[in-house]
Amino acid sequence: MTVAPPQTSSPPLRIGDVARIVGTTPRTIRYYEEIGLLPDTQATRPPGQHRLYSEAEIERLREIIRLKRLTGVTLDELKTLIEAEEARATIRRELDDTEDPGRRRELLKRAVGHLDRQLELVDRRARELAGLQEELQARRRRVLTRLRELDKASV
Amino acid sequence: MTVAPPQTSSPPLRIGDVARIVGTTPRTIRYYEEIGLLPDTQATRPPGQHRLYSEAEIERLREIIRLKRLTGVTLDELKTLIEAEEARATIRRELDDTEDPGRRRELLKRAVGHLDRQLELVDRRARELAGLQEELQARRRRVLTRLRELDKASV
DNA sequence: TTGCTCCTCACGTCACGTGAGGTGGC
DNA sequence: TTGCTCCTCACGTCACGTGAGGTGGC
């Protein structure tokens, strides 16, 4: 019973390529696996063998790293946020399987909740950054004004 | 020759109050002093005596911490950025003193340069954050669309 | 005088960086 | 076969956290 849908899956990549693609280092990827932020490859892989990553795993890792970089959450907080992401993946698979509309509705609502939690973090950061940005721009304008006044005076 | 302009200077605060105000910890402030990011109070203060901070110093510290939090620069990078800030303070004092228009112009131009470097960092971060924000919002909309479709189907 | 905050070591921790020595696939 | 990347320890580092023991101002 091979029911996998026909998909053009590109070949899995090794840790070095993945690191370059998502903008990090192999060590970081291994560390995330070590603390349980990424699925444990040790279980599915003979010790000493290379780690391999699918397109989907790479995409997921990219999101994790982006969220960390841009919001500054700790890896522990990120883990709770990502367990939500993880839940989303599970939800998707279950969604494809289930026909029960009630169940589908519940799963989708949970997905919205997870996204809302991430958006809340990102929105707050965006507001803080905008505040700093405006302040720096205001200072810049004031200095430029003084420069122009200097020009006028010297004529 | 007391030429200090009449200013309503509020009394200097202690490290705990300062930390609370700028949203950090006393340990962090001491650490920043230790690595040379903040001026060395050890020089001006008998060992064992309390550190005291003026309004201006607190404002400066607030900016440092904001820049760090929101751009994610390392303390070493921040130090170079802040040496620029430091330079700005010096510039301001010199500006108040000098009458030479050529000198004034040069100092002001340097100030603009320093602000531009900080703004470049902040602008890039803001763009990255906006990208992530849009992506999360798009996902959210897609899930909501699926929820509405489910509603229609169940009617 | 009693709390409270401050002080200076100094060790602990988080999130990795960086070799050290060895194995595995184009 | 030769590079190159990978592997697993394991110690180092950056940016602080967290007591330990002691001193100083409302």
Contact criterion met (CB < 8 Å) for A136 and B126: no
- Taking CA–CA distances from B127, the nearest residue in chain A reads A126
Return the pLDDT at A84.
62
- Nucleotide at minimal C1' distance from the A78 CA: C15
Encoding tokens for residue A110? 């949970």
Band the pLDDT of A9: cuts 50, 70, 90.
low
Q: What is the mean pLDDT of chain B?
A: 87
Work out the minimum CA distance from A70 to partner chain B, whole angstroms: 6
All residues at 6 or more sequence positions from B118 whose CB lies less than 8 Å from its CB, including other chains: A136, B67, B81, B84
Contact criterion met (CB < 8 Å) for B140 and A119: yes
Going from the C-alpha of A52 to that of each of A14, A39, A55, A113, the distances in angstroms are 5, 12, 10, 31
Q: Which is nearest to B69 in space by CA: B147, B131, B121, B17?
A: B121
pLDDT in tens, B30-85: 999 999 999 998 888 887 899 999 999 999 999 999 999 999 999 999 999 887 66
Instruction: Please state the three-class secondary structure of chain B as a single string.
Output: CCCCCCCCCCCCEEHHHHHHHHCCCHHHHHHHHHCCCCCCHHHHCCCCCCCEECHHHHHHHHHHHHHHHHHCCCHHHHHHHHHHHHHHHHHHHHHHHCCCHHHHHHHHHHHHHHHHHHHHHHHHHHHHHHHHHHHHHHHHHHHHHHHHHHHHHHC
pLDDT in tens, A11-41: 899 999 999 999 999 999 999 999 999 999 8
The yes-or-no verdict on residue A155 having pLDDT over 80 is: no
Contact criterion met (CB < 8 Å) for B112 and A153: no
A144 touching B, CB under 8 A? yes
Contact criterion met (CB < 8 Å) for B129 and A132: no
Q: Which is nearest to A142 in space by CA: B101, B108, B39, B135?
A: B108
pLDDT in tens, B134-148: 999 999 999 999 999
pTM over 0.75: yes
Does nucleic acid strand C have an atom less than 7 angstroms from the CB of A80?
A: no
Return the pLDDT at B84.
62
B150 touching A, CB under 8 A? yes
Question: What phi, psi does B8 have (nearest 5°)?
Answer: -85, 80
Q: How remote is the C-alpha of B19 from its chain's centroid?
A: 14
Which nucleotides along chain C are within 7 A of a protein C-beta? 5-8, 10, 14-18, 23-25
CA of residue B118 to C1' of nucleotide C11, angstroms? 36
Encoding tokens for residue A22? 């998502």
A146 touching B, CB under 8 A? yes
Contacts of A147 in chain B (CB under 8 A): 105, 108-109, 112
Band the pLDDT of B3: cuts 50, 70, 90.
very low
B128 touching A, CB under 8 A? yes
B48 touching A, CB under 8 A? no
Return the pLDDT at A65.
96
